[in-house]
Amino acid sequence: MHIVLIGLSGSGKSSLGRRAAQMLGLPFADLDERIEQEAGLRVREIFDRYGEADFREREARAVRAASSSPISGVIATGGGAVLRPENVRLLREAGFLVFLDRPVAHIARHVAYDGSRPLVSGARDLEALAARRRPLYEAAAHATLRNDAGFDEALAALLALVRTRNPPGGYAVVGDPIAHTLSPLLHRAVFGALGVAEDYTALQVPRGALADFTSGLRAGKLKGCNVTIPHKRDILPLLDEAEEEARLCGAVNTVVARGGRLCGYNTDMEGLLTALRAAGRGYRGAAVLLLGAGGAAGGVALKAAREGARGIVILARRPQRAEALAAAVRAAAPAAPVRAGALTPETVAAAARTADLLVNATPLGMCSAAADFDDLSFVDALPPRALVCDLVYNPPRTRLLRAAEARGLAVQNGLDMLIYQALLADELFLGRALDKAALYPIARRAVADMQSP
């Protein structure tokens, strides 16, 4: 069943539909966009040049094409798609229709009357249009969703509505916030390529609800899950067992439910190593300079120590955290040559001089993080052989990576790590080895459009 959003222009069909599709791991179709792409003209231009009747013909063709697609997706319709009874019949046969009921006053406040939307040149037009269209939306819809409390609230309500009809089974990624996750797209693409008929969705689980969530998991509500911020550490004591490396680095990103027992794993650290190896690199014999001492850094440091790095320098803005991580690594790998210190431009530059691999395991430079590196002069200190690896993948090229590229250094962003940790998690979920080299391009294609430039 498709999920079809109907409602006035400006009611949030495109923005909510796109984000809901991402979280559900479903393809997204915006019918107005499709019409514009096919015509090479904006909707407004089609109206002006050929008239409304011509546009409605194009719209009917777009409805026929989208509703007959055998692959379920989220469809955002144009505001007037409900004008033709035939459109409504096709959409209702193919999907679950949700009327996004956004008050006219909200639309009027947020939508620019810049001439891009036909039929509406001001708030008064919008009032009249809303009065004419409301009965059509109400008659067509299977459910109405009031969109008057903000984007996040409307998104949560839309997902809850969809899940009430189709409760999640199979697998999920859990975290809070979770709206930006790429995991459903990745895992669904992999399951699709393997012919595995399993669902994979995103579930928002607030901090206080983790114990309830794991009880449900143990009771068989899901077969397994991936775990992201802020639960990677907190989920450990709620599990029945955890593999050694997950215990040592104190973080779990994958849980498999086996016969009522919950088993935890960490595929992040192996994911990064696989990504490095795919680029012809690794930790063996390398001098590793690690920025940050959080969950991801813990996995990198531990793996680098166990893989035989010739030196590991951990620098963090709270040096005591770097020291604590170094002590944990020494406990797990007593021979590991680990040093720790404060993260300052001077300490990074000093350690950079001999580094073969620099890993940024802080959120500095991430699109949703407020902060970025103040000073990137340490990049100039790196030797020409060094690889600069940023665990951040959105944006795909952080300032750090751009500076390294400008110096002619090899770079890698966090997308490959994300893809490989997902493929490794799928091996655990499905209980068999996967051809990761063959699945990598499929997974990469699935998320290619979702990163901001």
Could you say whether residue 292 binds ligand NAP (CB under 6 A)?
Answer: yes
- Sheet architecture: strand order including 410-412: 338-342, 311-316, 287-291, 357-360, 387-390, 410-412
Minimum distance of ligand NAP from residue 132's CB (angstroms): 47
255 and 235 Cβ atoms separated by less than 8 Å: yes
Please identify, using beta-carbon distances, which residue of 283 and 393 lies nearer to ligand NAP: 393
Could you say whether residue 443 binds ligand NAP (CB under 6 A)?
Answer: no
Quote the tokens at residue 86: 């035939």
Minimum distance of ligand NAP from residue 156's CB (angstroms): 22
What is the separation, in whole angstroms, between the first and last Cα of the chain? 32
Q: In this chain, which stretch among 131-139, 314-322, 329-337, 429-437 interacts with ligand NAP, using CB under 6 A?
A: 314-322
Using CA atoms of 317, 320, 322, 323 in order, give the dihedral in degrees to the nearest 10.
150
Please identify, using beta-carbon distances, which residue of 12 and 292 lies nearer to ligand NAP: 292
Q: Which of 316, 333, 425, 447 binds ligand NAP (CB under 6 A)?
A: 316
Question: Which of the residues 13, 221, 223, 232 is marked catalytic?
Answer: 232
Q: Taking Cα atoms as reference points, which of 127, 163, 144, 125 lies closest to residue 5?
A: 144
Neighbours of 261 (CB within 10 A): 11
Please identify, using beta-carbon distances, which residue of 95 and 295 lies nearer to ligand NAP: 295
196 and 223 Cβ atoms separated by less than 8 Å: no
Could you say whether residue 414 binds ligand NAP (CB under 6 A)?
Answer: yes
Could you say whether residue 274 binds ligand NAP (CB under 6 A)?
Answer: no
Neighbours of 297 (CB within 10 A): 24
Could you say whether residue 293 binds ligand NAP (CB under 6 A)?
Answer: yes
Q: What is the Cβ-side half-sphere exposure of residue 215, based on CA atoms within 13 angstroms?
A: 4
Could you say whether residue 363 binds ligand NAP (CB under 6 A)?
Answer: yes
Could you say whether residue 426 binds ligand NAP (CB under 6 A)?
Answer: no
Minimum distance of ligand NAP from residue 295's CB (angstroms): 4
232 catalytically annotated: yes
Could you say whether residue 398 binds ligand NAP (CB under 6 A)?
Answer: no
Give the C-alpha distances (Å, rounded to integers) separating 262 from 95, 218, 323, 433, 447.
36, 6, 32, 20, 29
Active site (catalytic) residues = 232
**Site residues (CB under 6 A) for ligand NAP?**
268, 292-297, 316-318, 321, 343, 361-364, 366, 371, 391-393, 414, 417-418, 421
